[in-house]
Amino acid sequence: MKATQQLKDEHQGIKIVFRILEKICEKLKADRSISAEHFEGILEFLKVFVDRCHHWKEEDLLFPAMEQVGIPRQGPIGVMLAEHAMGRKFVKAISDAYSEYKAGKASASAGLIENAKGYISLMLAHIDKEDNVLYPMGDSRFSKETQEVLYEGFEKIEIERIGIGKHEAFHGMIDKLSKIYL
């Protein structure tokens, strides 16, 4: 399997979580209530899986490998990095708004919904660019060896950053929440 295929598969899982998050936001808007367990599970997924695992695979391994084969940092890679940084700010804002919501601040839910929507639209466009422009650019230039080295590196990041058990737990959570919300 190509290393980028692993990242594309992760994008599919991330997109399902976004659909669940949208449903939770709709519910929050309609009756101002939210399941703490479900929302906190999603927040952890965004912080641990999306940011610490998926974005790290790109930032630590994929993007440097792309630079090695002549794809300039001052171009599509730079745009992706800037979007990761924007994504982190959104996740922090969602997390902060959720803490306020939990503490009983009535106005917090509007901020939570707004930041969740901003984050989802940023990341959907980001994923689209990676799947359709950036990854194919890399795939057309990477040797078979580079793909293998990247793939092994991705596996290592996964074990070090989130751990095998945790990865399975996230899959379980996505399945469970999909049945409830989608």
Closer residue to Fe ion (CB): 56 or 98:
56
**Contact flag: residue 158 with Fe ion (CB under 5 A):** no
Cα dihedral 53→59→62→63 (10° resolution): 160
Number of residues lying near Fe ion (CB under 5 A): 2
Spatial contact of 29 and 79, defined as CB atoms under 8 Å apart: no
What are the CB-based long-range contacts (under 8 Å, 24+) for 63-66? 65/138, 65/142, 65/146, 65/149, 65/150, 66/134, 66/137, 66/138, 66/141
Closer residue to Fe ion (CB): 130 or 158:
130
Among 28, 58, 101, 142, binds Fe ion (CB under 5 A): 58
Q: Smallest Cα–Cα separation from 113: which of 129, 126, 131, 100? A: 100
In the complex, the smallest distance separating the C-beta of residue 23 from Fe ion, rounded to whole angstroms, is: 23
C-alpha to C-alpha distances, 167 to 56, 164, 172, nearest whole angstrom: 15, 5, 9
User: And the tokens for 93?
Assistant: 């804002």
In the complex, the smallest distance separating the C-beta of residue 79 from Fe ion, rounded to whole angstroms, is: 10
In the complex, the smallest distance separating the C-beta of residue 102 from Fe ion, rounded to whole angstroms, is: 29
d(Cα 87, Cα 148) in Å, to the nearest integer?
29
Closer residue to Fe ion (CB): 76 or 111:
76
Tokens 């999909």 found at: 178
Closer residue to Fe ion (CB): 42 or 127:
127
In the complex, the smallest distance separating the C-beta of residue 123 from Fe ion, rounded to whole angstroms, is: 8
Q: Which of residues 114-153 bind Fe ion (CB under 5 A)?
A: 130
Closer residue to Fe ion (CB): 132 or 178:
132
Binding mask 8-37 for Fe ion (x = CB under 5 A): ------------------------------
The residues that touch Fe ion, with contacts defined as CB under 5 A, are 58, 130
